[in-house]
Structure formats: structure tokens, C-alpha cells
Amino acid sequence: MDRSLTLWKKSQFNLLPNPDASRILRYTDDLRAIISKENCHEAHQEIRSWPDYKISELISLPKLAETLNFVDISFKDESNRFNLGSFKSLGGAYAVFRHVQRVVEEKTDKEIGSDTLRSGKYQEFTSQITVTTATDGNHGRSVAWGAQLFGCSAVIYVPASCSQERIAAIEEFGAHVIQSDLNYDDTVRLCAENAHKEGHQVISDTSWENYTGIPTQVMRGYSLIAAEAIVEYFTRSFREAIPPSHIFIQAGVGGMAAAISGYLWDLMDEKRPTIIIVEPENAACLFASAAEGALTKASGDKETGEIHTIMAGLDCGEASPIAWKILSKGADFFMTIPDDITGPTMQLLAKSPFSDPALVAGESSVAGLAALLMTASHNESRRTLGLSPDSRILLINSEGAMDKALYQELVGEDPNH
């Protein structure tokens, strides 16, 4: 092991094989109702039609792969999606579009496309619509952008821990931001309660009882990441035209992780990559659910029980039930990592000791890489995960430096430099 990676070798992690996962399990119709090749393709076609759509870059880290004895390590870089800074732009805005489209079609009895809504032709109807959500930052920004794009209003709730920079980024798109004195999960409930009173439409990336349709739309938007990645792998040189063998996916409520896992399960069946779900140890609701064999809240800090992590986008104590439906059988492993590895992993990407391309990654983006570095440092975990010299690893840079002050504190450099 390279001496520059000693820190990850010494760091403690928890790795849990999913007893309910199996390569022989088939993707079922009830899961296809959430995520399927067909319904995701519809979302992909819509999002690709939006102004400024570009395929996010697949960035290879060849020297790190060589150091860890893998064929390839690649990052799907979501930090420039629609200039919103994160993968969330694919989900929230898409769900806003579908809601606004449905309302306007009901009022006009006509089929309405997104280009028509963006033109402002039906502003008399769209201006009466208010969408709302609770967010740690990125999802709220996507909903606010979608509201601006399709002509409605947005009210965004953020938890007490949300930084002023993330709030300002949401307000850029004309949304009204309300900061609660609660944690993320309780802010979700507050948002839903107030939406019911005010007649606003919740556009959430997590689901609950009798609220699944919109979170499903959000997840279908996220699945574009997987669709693009597979095409990018197969358009590389002929010698490397092989899909990833392993995907390390960081998770909050589980929406992105389930979208990618479900899409690839339906697309590739038993040939799909091995999926490792990674969470911060103090906000590990999916790990806790896998350990119990049923949807379970995160246990939080060992001493205080507090659910909190420096990885703001993963600061969730309760998983989305529809995401869990897919991940409970579609994820191969669940893993937790400590917060204190976040800064060093961000630094490793920003200033590679191996002369790989520099990558600006926010604190919620690096959990997958941290997990890879930890597990690749030990023979036992390499064997458990099936990591070998033939492995091709896919990671997701799910956000850029959305909190620049925190990035500078953790990395020691201005992200713009």
C-alpha cells in the first residue's frame, strides 16, 4: 500500500454484506413500477431536451487505479449539471416539470410540452402553482430552478444546520427560503404539514405513506447518471469497452443509490455491477435497515444518539421507503465511514499525489472514494467485495464545492483555484 494512503488503511469502517441480495434475483414488476428502463428512458428524453443539457464527464484516475491494483477508477462528475453544482438538478426540476405539466394539461385539456411551459404561454396557470420541499441544499436548489424554469413559485425549507451559502444558492432562483430550528428529517415533516395548510405541492426526494409518485419521478431523473455512464464506458477505446464491475455510491435517503441500482438491475440483470452503499456512521439509515432486515432509523452517534454528519447531503436519519424497496435486495453491501476521513479524501482529489486529474468534490461527494480506499487497503475486505486486478470502479462526484467556506476549511484551498 502506498504510504500516502496510510490514513485510509488505519481508518475504521463497517462493512455489511446484504443477506437478501443475490445475483440470481430477478427484477420484479413492482420494482419496475418505481424504476425501469422504459419509464427512466422517458425521463432521460425529457431532460436531454432542456437548454444547456450536456453529458457529465467520466473522469479516469489511472494512477490511483494502478496504485490500488485495479484496471480503472472513474468518477462520473455531476458538479457541472445545468450549472447547479450537483446531480440533484436531474431530479427535483424534472418532478417540478411533471407536476406543472399535469396541472396545466388538466386546465387546458391539451398536451403541453416543456418548451411551451418555458415560453411562458401558460403563465396565467403556472403562476398560481407553488411547489415546496425540505432540503439540505442541493435538492432545494433544483426545485427552485425548476420552478423558475417552468413558471411557478417555490418555498424551500432548510434545517438548522444548513449553511448561509447553500441558502443563498437556493434564493438565486427566486425561491422563498424558510430555515427551521430542526434537523433534516423533522424539517421534512414541517414542510409537509405546512404544504397541506397552504395548498402547496411537495416535491420531495424522499417518500412516505401515500406519497410516492413525485419521489419516483425524482429518482427517474437521477437514473440518467447510470444511463450516461454505461454509454460512456462502451464508447471508450475497444480494449476498455467493459462496464464497471463495482459502484461505490454514497447515500442519504437513498434516492440516487436506488435509481442507479434499479436501472442497472433492470438493464443488465445478473451482469450488473456490484453495488456498495456508503453512509456516514452517524447518519446511516440504510445500513441500520439492512442490519435489521426492515426499514429502520439511523442510530446516530454512539454516545449522544445525535444524527449529524459533516457530509451535509447525506445528513439523513430516515431512508425513503421506495428507495429501500430497491436497495433491500438490489444493493450487495452497505458500509459506514467516519466523518474525519472527509477532508483528507477531498484533498486527495484536489491535489492528487499520483498526478491524476484534479477534481473539485464537495464533502458529500467523497464518501464512495473514501470507502474504496479503506476497503482496498485490506485483503479481507478486498476478498469480501470481490475486488481484483480486473476490477473497474465507478464513483460519483455528486456535488462540487457547494459550501465554498467549508471546502476551503477542509481542503486548504479556494475551489476556484
How confident is the model over 5-50, as pLDDT tens digits? 999 999 999 999 999 999 899 999 999 999 999 999 999 999 999 9
Q: State the Cα–Cα distance between residues 189 and 371, nearest whole angstrom.
A: 31
At 368, which helix (H) or strand (E)?
helix 367-376
| Long-range pairs for 164-167: beta carbons < 8 A, 24 or more residues apart | 165/402, 165/403, 165/404, 165/405, 166/136, 166/137, 166/138, 166/141, 166/312, 166/402, 166/403, 167/137
Residue 238 above 70 pLDDT?
Answer: no
Question: How many Cβ atoms are within 10 Å of 285's Cβ, its own excluded?
Answer: 27
When pLDDT is averaged across residues 393-413 and rounded to a whole number, the result is 95
Grid cell of 83 as nine digits: 450549472
Q: Which three cell numbers stand for residue 156?
A: 424551500
Tally of CB atoms within 10 A around 306 = 12
First-last CA distance in the chain: 30
Q: β-strand 14-17 against 176-179: which pairing, if any?
A: unpaired
* Contact (Cβ atoms closer than 8 angstroms) between residue 9 and residue 1: yes
Sorting pLDDT into bands at 50, 70 and 90, what band is 235?
confident
Residues 136, 205, 266, 356: which is the catalytic one? 136
- Active site includes 329? no
Mind listing the pLDDT tens digit for each residue in 182-193? 999 999 999 999
Q: How far is residue 113's CA from residue 64's CA, in Å, rounded to a whole number?
A: 45
136 catalytically annotated: yes
Contact 272, 332 (CB under 8 A): no
Q: Which residues of 123-140 are buried (b: 16+ CB within 10 A; e: fewer)?
A: eebbeebbbbbbbbbbbb
What backbone torsions phi and psi does residue 335 show, to the nearest 5 degrees?
-145, 145
% pLDDT > 70, the chain: 98
Of the chain, the percentage scoring pLDDT greater than 90 comes to: 92
Residue written as grid cell 476549511: 409
Per residue in 65-97, pLDDT (tens digit) is: 999 999 999 999 999 999 999 999 999 999 999
**AA letter at 417:** H
Residue 399 and residue 366: Cα distance in Å, rounded? Answer: 9
For β-strands 72-77 and 58-60, DSSP reports them as antiparallel
> Of 84, 58, 86, which Cα lies nearest the Cα of 357?
58
**Residue 273 DSSP class:** P
Only one residue has cell 474525519, namely 340
CA angle centred on 111, ends 105 and 113, rounded to 5°: 100
pTM here is: 0.95
For residue range 260-285, list pLDDT tens digits in order: 999 999 999 999 999 999 999 999 99
- Here the cell at position 227 is 444511463
What local confidence, expressed as pLDDT, does residue 233 receive?
87
Q: What is the CA radius of gyration of the chain?
A: 20
Q: What does the block give as the cell for 260?
A: 442507479
| pLDDT score at 300 | 83
Q: Which of 76, 88, 325, 329 is flagged as catalytic?
A: 88
Query: What gap in Å lies between CA 9 and CA 5, rounded to an integer?
Result: 7
CA 320, CA 323: separation in Å to the nearest integer? 5
Q: What is the mean pLDDT of residues 105-112?
A: 97
Q: How far apart, in whole angstroms, are the C-alpha atoms of residue 417 and residue 190?
A: 39
Residue 294 has pLDDT above 60, yes or no: yes
> Which domains are seen in the chain, by residue range?
3-86+218-411 (3.40.50.1100), 92-204 (3.40.50.1100)
